A and B are shown apart, each in its own frame.
Chain A
């Protein structure tokens, strides 16, 4: 009886409230799509502010990198009275992104956010950032001194969306002493993937090993060095990517080689995130590993860490490409700085001021020297800071050289896609299944392709473009 009455009450209310609630979802669809395109850079707002403009910068730089960023920021804050920047250490790119997106609902967004390379299309899709292009135009800011591929990574469909800040790419880290012990030339790191495999075998036979971090830039980077696309529509740069195109003989070759490397026992794998992320680099200190591939961004921290290990002489080599005959190049990794268009005009202008400071030739020289990142300005290289650094630590030059080398094509510039992080997870899951469940490289590749395609399709549906 009571149950009946309850059910009746509930369903009666359902009717009434459904009627009231009908305007609920339509309100969220009112945001204008033209906002991002129409937004212009409010440069003059800073002068009109009349007092110091305070801005927040969400960044993810740790250890040596964090200290260098703090140093530059302090320098900026004390160099002029108009803008004061507060660094907010969010610890990781993932945290910044999650908090930023959550902040779009709650209204808690920073003036500037450091977003990792893979967040580019997502950032565009939020329509909440001021394209750097508008400020470049408004301020007649010259970009000719930028390292071309680093700059063009952040250009989509002809619009410069952000300015690169912390640029890196994968390099070979190796212990020269292990190379000597294995009868290898300590000044001749592997230049190709097949040499990498044979060096790994030699190291293994002589008591040390190789670490292969499980990260999906494996496939992407080897593809870009072979001048091949990762997704369609010009790697997502001429139009939104709708499917992955990495099911090529080249990709199969890459995974077959890597599979052999791991399954022969010549290399050990470990996750790219979590508590074990730095194990391969630290393993070099203990003598466990003689060689690994990792981001050049870790160079500063690693140099510091390994300096206390007498049995390690750190060597840095370029990324071991699939074949030196293929005209490709490494894609630029790292992160860029984005200005939010959800903050007052004066703060947007202040953010531009700070961003261009960080990207100035001298700041980039300081930045690169302190961290291992590549200076994004060509003229930074001429500074005494960089010249003396490269003289004493030639390893710091490797990543720069390989980014400047080779043609700047849609393939070498790298891919842009909305669900990049999810797609990378799909790829890495498939790669892991090769090593751990013995799935064949071609099957793993097919699985990866199908999963990435599904990921792209469902994302594009949600954005409303298909």
Chain B
């Protein structure tokens, strides 16, 4: 409010200057219309590719090359989805993706919580150095390490296994950093009070620190969920044709045929793969936004 002070007369009602309120109602309506128009244009840009994918997935193959293109699915072929599901082994691939993702999310959350707790609450030699070491992992893109990681995984006999898919990702420098920040927000008094109550470190972590950092844990979980669900390069390297282990992303690539008559099946597969994530987006939007902007807000 103090910012407004110089230009607003004391005690005067906070209305706009006269020249702006000539036809306030009509202006507001016009503005609303413009805003909704822009919003809708934006929504169309974002949704159009997905919409066309849904349409094409439901069209009979012989309608796909219709000119002008059909913008609405005439005679929708719902069975295409059943075909994509069975022919593309999507049930199995989705299961694999879920297992892979759950292992990575759980692993990252656990290792990050433990390490962040140590960095925030415990004193030990080289703590700062070790923290810097953790942070420095953020500077090494995964692609830089894949040559040797592929070797390592192969020589451990982990090709085509969930170990191979997940173990390299069971720790996160970013997540540790986030959680440490969250832990540092916890008032010292609380720590001392807990100590007086005879809380050991484990009990303090589980009963006090973790519940208080829950939003950050959730953000980290979402972040690592998204990251591992969408992994493409690594699963491509460490899984072969073995259907028992392929993730859905790699399965989708395999579903991509060269034949026009298979295109609707391919696209149906893509839609099947994306629907669970849309549901997650709607449910966890807040946490998602939080995790993705964590680096910016610091």
Contact = CB atoms under 8 A, between A and B. Distances in A.
Interface of A: 5-6, 8-10, 12-13, 24, 99, 102, 105-108, 275
A9 B154 CA distance: 30
8 contacts: A5-B128, A6-B132, A6-B136, A13-B133, A102-B240, A105-B151, A105-B154, A106-B154
B129 interface: yes
A339 B148 CA distance: 29
B129 A9 contact: yes
Contact of A105 (B129, B132, B150, B258): B150
Listed from nearest, the 4 A-B pairs whose CB atoms lie closest are A106-B159, A9-B132, A105-B154, A106-B154
Given A106-B159, A108-B160, A275-B258, A6 B135 contact: yes
Nearest to B238: A106
Interface residues of B, number: 16
B193 interface: no
A108 B240 contact: yes
Contacts of A24: 148
B275 interface: no
A107 B133 contact: no
A9 B240 contact: no
Looking at A6, A9, A275, the one whose CB has the most chain B CB atoms below 10 A away is A9
A5 B159 contact: no
B159 A108 contact: yes
A138 B203 CA distance: 71
A107 B157 contact: yes
**Interface of B, helix, strand, loop or mixed by DSSP:** helix
A6 B159 contact: no
Contacts of A9: 129, 132-133, 136
Nearest to B152: A24
Contacts of A275: 258
Interface in B101-152: 128-129, 132-133, 135-136, 139, 148, 150-151
A13 B160 CA distance: 32
B202 to A, nearest CB: 29
Contacts of B133: 9, 13
A107 B159 contact: yes
Contacts of A108: 159-160, 240
Interface string B39-83: 000000000000000000000000000000000000000000000
Nearest to B258: A275
Interface in B204-242: 240
Interface string B235-252: 000001000000000000
B45 to A, nearest CB: 32
Contact of A13 (B136, B157, B240): B136
Contact of B139 (A6, A99, A102): A6
A106 B240 contact: yes
Contacts of B136: 6, 9-10, 13
Interface in B142-191: 148, 150-151, 154, 157, 159-160
Interface in B243-274: 258
B176 to A, nearest CB: 15
Contacts of A12: 129
Nearest to B242: A108
Contacts of A5: 128, 132
A446 to B, nearest CB: 37
Nearest to A95: B241
A107 B132 CA distance: 38
Contacts of B154: 105-107
Contacts of B258: 275
B280 to A, nearest CB: 33
Contacts of B159: 106-108
